[in-house]
Amino acid sequence: MSQKIGIITFHAAYNFGSVLQAYATQQSISMLGFDVSTIDYRPKSQNDYYGKLYRTSFGIKPFIKDLMMMPARSERLIRRNRFESFIKEHLSLTEERFTFPDELNKIADTFDVFVSGSDQIINKHSNELQNENWSAMNPYLLTFTTRKKITYASSPSSMSDEELQNIVEPLKRFDFISAREEDAAVKISRLTGKKVPNVLDPTLLLSKENWLKVSEGASIRSLPHDFVLYYSLDGTNKVAKRVTTLRNIAKSLNVPVLVITPFAYVPSDKYLINDHSFGPSEFIQAINNASLVITDSYHGTLFSLNLGTPFLSISSGSGSSTRKDQVLSRLHLSDHIVGSLEDSVSKLSKGNFSEDRDYRQLLDKLKQESVSYLSYSLKYES
């Protein structure tokens, strides 16, 4: 009988990267021959942040930002339903849903191995955890069980050493720890005294064929044969300042720009196509079908390179942007990084952004190393 594996992660955040990394982790473990389930833990903070169209419990600024999205209300409802449909169809969830940390005590002995990750589940500044006390991180630190526990590609993002001291002791009790970012691996290793390999984000463990198959049910709107995809996680004020630049890109390339901005409303016109209804499957298909992707998103960047779509990755060179930079550097693709949307116009004018690079061999090597870590850590018996 195969071992039973339980995964805990941000699987129900209405965020493309969160849901797709959850699926990728589950699928990657399943492909190794394990009986795997995703623990349906949805903390109240997550439900409040993602489950409501208008966030009233996070202060006046988020509420005002949500009001600015009013014109896209009907599309956002479709988006929410598409996320839930994807989660229901593609994740093997536990029968019981959990909302509070203490409820997880019920499953302390349900699985042979517990896997925490990936995503920013040990980042106190993540949307789910930023307004909570430190104990809210305990479920992701697996403090409710004494069974074997490992992390896969967990990320503390830019947390300081001082902040990480709050979770060092629970981390020391993990049998295996890995980190998604190189600097995070070094930092966690130094603080815990454990070996912490730097592994790939789980979305890169699945092939293009895997992703196209899982997104076959996409209900994507009719789009032109050629289009540029602009995917940004910035808010309305920042994105509004880029509309003119986006129109100029559309004019210069003579193709429309599909704008996917979950936190910003951009009216459609003859140059821009705005759609807030995309779920995970539609997101994958949009990247796959685009002639070019311009994005400031970590997972937008990763899916572009995994699906083989020409892309430019906008990076400030600091903070969360370093996540993308590190991956692209490891794959010798740093020339795909631009400092701003305006810089992408200059890059496009030079015509070398889509230069074919043979990074597949290197990506396959890193993938094999990550899968080997995952397999070894799951099968290892002390």
- Per the CB < 8 A criterion, the answer to whether 273 and 261 are in contact is no
| Beta bridge pairs of residue 312 | 294
Residue 58 lies in a domain: yes
Residue 304 lies in a domain: yes
Identify the DSSP state of 227. -
Distance CA 236, CA 354 (A): 29
Residues 214 and 195 in one domain: no
Return the closest-CA partner of residue 196 out of 166, 172, 168, 176.
176
Residues 236 and 250 in one domain: yes
User: CA-based angle 124:125:130, to the nearest 5?
Assistant: 80
Residues 71 and 170 in one domain: yes
Buried b (16+ CB within 10 A) or exposed e, 179-206: bbbeebbebbbebbeeebbbbbbbbbbb
Residue 109 lies in a domain: yes
Residue 360 lies in a domain: no
Residues 182 and 329 in one domain: no
Residue 292 lies in a domain: yes
Q: Assign residue 370 the CATH number of its domain.
A: 3.40.50
**What's the order of all strands across the beta sheet hosting 337-338?**
272-274, 257-260, 228-231, 292-295, 311-314, 337-338
Domain range for residue 238?
Answer: 208-308+311-353
Q: Please enumerate in sequence order all residues whose Cβ is within 8 A of that of 133, keeping only pairs 6 or more positions apart, or say none.
A: none
Q: Write down the mean pLDDT value for the chain.
A: 90
- Per the CB < 8 A criterion, the answer to whether 178 and 154 are in contact is yes
Residue 372 lies in a domain: yes
Residues 183 and 47 in one domain: yes
Q: pTM for the full model?
A: 0.93
Q: Assign residue 287 the CATH number of its domain.
A: 3.40.50.2000
Residues 61 and 166 in one domain: yes
Distance CA 93, CA 101 (A): 17
Residues 130 and 196 in one domain: yes
Residues 347 and 372 in one domain: no
Report the interhelical angle of 73-90 vs 280-289 (nearest 10°). 100
Residues 71 and 37 in one domain: yes
pLDDT for 50: 72
> How would you class 32 by CB atoms within 10 Å of its CB: exposed for 0-12, middle for 13-18, buried for 19 or more?
middle
Residues 100 and 37 in one domain: yes
- Strands 228-231 vs 148-151: parallel, antiparallel or unpaired: unpaired
Q: With a cut of 50, list the residues of the chain below it in pLDDT.
A: 354
Residue 83 lies in a domain: yes
Q: What share of the chain is helix, strand, coil (3-state, %, to 5)?
A: 45, 10, 40
Residues 26 and 167 in one domain: yes
Residue 358 lies in a domain: no
Q: How many domains does the chain have?
A: 2
Residues 196 and 214 in one domain: no
- Per the CB < 8 A criterion, the answer to whether 128 and 46 are in contact is yes
